[in-house]
């Protein structure tokens, strides 16, 4: 017996909607784990693998913890007075890397160049609460708009995202390089090092 055409169309449409909605808050094409944390191979030229979650999160849609640059533990207040890292390395060492300290050897914060590679080599799609980022091979990750913690209160959640790199801002040692985004915009930015930002770990290749 032939199935009504409208029923077939409805099933196909529903499947498509579920597929799209599934990408809004999830990574897809998971490639493996390191120290119990998942990473995705996006097919990037550098070979860098990106974690599916932020440090402090247990799923891609969760915001996770916030860190001042060079500090390895979250805290309640992110001000110049509470800042505790006073060295000025061009790239953070593992002892001052929040990804390494919390997830173990092999994980680290991405460099400025690695964020720029993700920005230039991937397709970015705003999903109302963050960006779906799809690599050249079709695998992807989700970066939630986790906001920013510039003092005593977390602000702009679900509106903007701010992710540290491990790279110091060359023109001002009081700032470090980060990825900043909101709907329609994603670019590199320089924040005061004492601000609380998100950390999305990477593993494998190191681009400085």
Nearest to 203 by CA among 57, 40, 53: 40
Rounded Cα distance, 159 and 128, in Å: 8
Could you list the residue range(s) of the whole structural domain that residue 93 is in?
A: 29-203
178-199 per-position pLDDT tens digit? 999 999 999 999 999 999 999 9
Q: Is residue 3 part of a domain?
A: no
Exposed, middle or buried by CB within 10 Å (0-12, 13-18, 19+), for 208? exposed
| pLDDT digit string, tens, across residues 6-51 | 333 333 333 333 333 344 446 777 789 999 999 999 999 999 999 9
Q: Is 18 inside any structural domain?
A: no
Tell whether 101 is covered by a domain. Answer: yes
Our count of domains for the chain comes to 1
**CA nearest neighbour of 37 among 111, 137, 114, 104:** 104
For residues 163 and 109, give the distance between their C-alpha atoms in angstroms, rounded to a whole number: 9
| Inside any domain, residue 7 | no
Burial class of residue 30, CB neighbours in 10 A (0-12, 13-18, 19+) = middle
pLDDT of residue 31: 87
């Amino acid at each position: 017996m032939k199935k009504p055409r409208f029923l077939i169309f409805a099933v196909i449409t529903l499947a498509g909607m579920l597929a799209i909605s599934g990408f809004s808050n999830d990574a897809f094409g998971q490639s493996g784990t390191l120290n119990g944390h998942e990473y995705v191979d996006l097919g990037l030229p550098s070979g860098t693998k990106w974690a599916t979650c932020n440090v402090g999160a247990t799923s891609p849609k969760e915001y996770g913890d916030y860190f001042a640059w060079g500090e390895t533990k979250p805290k309640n207040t992110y001000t110049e007075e509470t800042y505790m890292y006073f060295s000025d390395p061009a790239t953070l060492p593992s002892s001052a890397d929040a990804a390494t300290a919390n997830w173990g050897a092999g994980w680290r914060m991405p460099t400025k160049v690695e964020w720029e590679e993700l920005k230039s080599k991937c397709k970015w799609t705003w999903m109302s609460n963050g960006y779906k980022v799809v690599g050249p091979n079709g695998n992807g990750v989700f970066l939630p708009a986790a906001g920013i913690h510039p003092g005593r209160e977390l602000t702009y959640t679900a509106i903007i995202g701010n992710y540290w790199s491990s790279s110091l801002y060359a023109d001002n040692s009081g700032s470090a390089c980060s990825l900043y985004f909101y709907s329609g915009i994603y670019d590199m930015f320089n924040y005061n090092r004492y601000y609380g930002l998100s950390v999305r770990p990477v593993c494998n290749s190191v681009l400085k």
